[in-house]
Amino acid sequence: MSENKIIRNVSRRTVLKGSALTTGAAIIGATAPMHFIRNAYAADSFRGDPGSGKSIFLGFNVPQTGPYADEGADELRAYKLAVKHLNGEGDGGMLNTMKPNNLKGNGILGKKVEFVTGDTQTKSDAARASAKRMIEKDNVAMITGGSSSGVAVAVQGLCQEMGVIFMAGLTHSNDTTGKDKKRYGFRHFFNAYMSGQALAPVLKDEYGTDRKAYHLTADYTWGWTQEESIKAATENIGWTTVNAVRTPVGAGDFSQYITPVLNSGADVLILNHYGKDMVNSLTQAVQFGLKDKMVNGKKFEIVVPLYSRLMAQGAGDAAKGILGTTNWHWSLSDAGSQAFVKSFGQEYGFPPSQAAHTCYVQTLLYANACEMAGTFAPWEVIKQLEGYEFDGMGNGPTLYRAEDHQCFKDVLVVRGKEKPQSAFDLLEVVKHVPRAQVEYPADMFGGELGPYKV
């Protein structure tokens, strides 16, 4: 009875209303993700997509504190200059010399370039946290920067997970484009293997083949690979390795590691240190009289395989006469280098460091790849960068090798200048080592790039 009553009370109008509501709800339910969280579902969506916005954001993640803060400060200067040039301000810098060049000085793909910055503190966890913040909160399309391989490897891994391109700053470990390489990571800077290959012939010419080397090595990924590469290269020219001692990063006082060198029988000290550590260890090694010492009938020598002008500045007189390698130097006379040095010098009153150069170039290369791809979609931009050959950016014809995302170009062997002519004239280029001499097979350091779409 009651059942019939209920049925009787349901009118045709009510049924129609109910049907309409149900159908409507079903349509809204099916399409809601497309409207409200479209990026989470659409196959061609990506992080950092500026959409219809007028600006594209880049994330500059550099060490603003910690042992590599000097490099970080210079990287940031270079990034700001690159942004200016990309937006059509200033004299254009390397935009005038880069070949091939798709950049028009109107931002990237018509969108104004803006940036956010982070402090890596030269700590992997801090760098990852800072990069994550920029990706999630600031919607950056690309992360770049860093002055440590430990940081580069950590941030590169994060960028691969999150699908954002990472244009590495100063990172010299073989691992960055070797066992830890990633599809979303690109390195313009040279690496420890290249330093060894470039430096060894010069060491042979300058110091002979009968030498005993003692290594002091920063105890993290970069130090290990540099020690391995330099050991292999120097042993190839007949040198023997007396000892290789690992030192903690940021040790400050290296005296307890330097005193054993005095009686080790070694006649060469190789400092696999960088930044503040290198300034301290080199200064202290000189204080211990190693530069004036005679061992095995030969003059004792100190070698710093990875050198920079900023470090030479910090080490002062201790850097004079010391051999090493560098990615780039402001005194190069090619058109690209001169254009960059002029822009940078006019802006800041002093020449750029190698860290500044690599960061500036990386920003322009990313922007150019976006223009070539016609989109900010990272997998398309990656395809443009892979195997890309360019010139006019300071190191001669350069290749971004597709298999490991490592740039191949000429390497410079430099020496601390004995009689500097100016406050910046601290290094002299001893040799331009051609790209062919530092090339190696793509699978030599292992690793897998991973997928284009994540």
Partner 1 sequence: MDAIFLQILNGLDKGGAYALIALGLTLVFGTLGVVNFAHGAIFMVGAFCAVTMEKILTISAKVKDPSVTFFDAYKETPYLELWFGKTGSAIIDWVVPISIIVSIPVMLGLGILMERTLIRYFYKRSHAEQILVTFGLAIVLQELVKTFFGANPIPISAPDIVAGSAAIGSWIGLSDAVVYPWWRLIYLLFSVVIISGVFSFLNFTTYGMVVRAGMADRETVELLGIDIERRFTIVFGLAAVVAGLAGVMYTPILPPDYHQGMDFLVLSFVVVVVGGMGSLRGAVAAGFLLGILQSFSSMTEVKSIIPGIDQIIIYLVAVIILLTRPRGLMGRRGVMEN
Least separation in angstroms between CB 372 and partner 1: 30
Nearer to partner 1, 112 or 298 (CB): 298
Nearer to partner 1, 283 or 375 (CB): 283
383 beta partners: none
**Angle at 405 (CA atoms; ends 402, 408), nearest 5 degrees:** 90
Least separation in angstroms between CB 361 and partner 1: 18
Least separation in angstroms between CB 309 and partner 1: 13
- CA gap 227, 258 in Å, rounded: 17
Amino acid occupying residue 444 = M
Give CA 92 to chain center in angstroms.
23
- CA gap 156, 86 in Å, rounded: 24
Yes or no: say if 291 and 271 are a contact pair by the CB < 8 Å rule: no
- CA gap 122, 68 in Å, rounded: 7
Nearer to partner 1, 106 or 346 (CB): 346
Nearer to partner 1, 201 or 316 (CB): 316
Compute the CA torsion angle 120, 125, 131, 133 (nearest 10 deg). Answer: -110
Nearer to partner 1, 400 or 424 (CB): 424
Nearer to partner 1, 161 or 334 (CB): 334
Least separation in angstroms between CB 252 and partner 1: 5
Counting Cα atoms < 13 Å in the Cβ hemisphere of 43 gives 0
Least separation in angstroms between CB 63 and partner 1: 9
- CA gap 46, 27 in Å, rounded: 26
- CA dihedral (57, 60, 64, 65) positive or negative: positive
Amino acid occupying residue 33 = P
Task: List contacts with partner 1 (CB under 8 A).
Answer: 64-66, 69-70, 73, 243, 245, 248, 252-253, 255-257, 259-260, 262-263, 276, 279-280, 283-284, 287-289, 292-293, 295, 314-316, 338, 341-342, 344-346, 349-351, 421-425
Q: Is the peptide bond before 100 cis (omega within 30 degrees of 0)?
A: yes
Least separation in angstroms between CB 87 and partner 1: 21
Nearer to partner 1, 340 or 366 (CB): 340
Yes or no: say if 75 and 148 are a contact pair by the CB < 8 Å rule: no
Nearer to partner 1, 77 or 276 (CB): 276
User: Where are the extended beta strands (E) located within 230-281?
Assistant: 240-247, 268-272
Least separation in angstroms between CB 440 and partner 1: 30
- CA gap 283, 311 in Å, rounded: 11
Least separation in angstroms between CB 357 and partner 1: 14
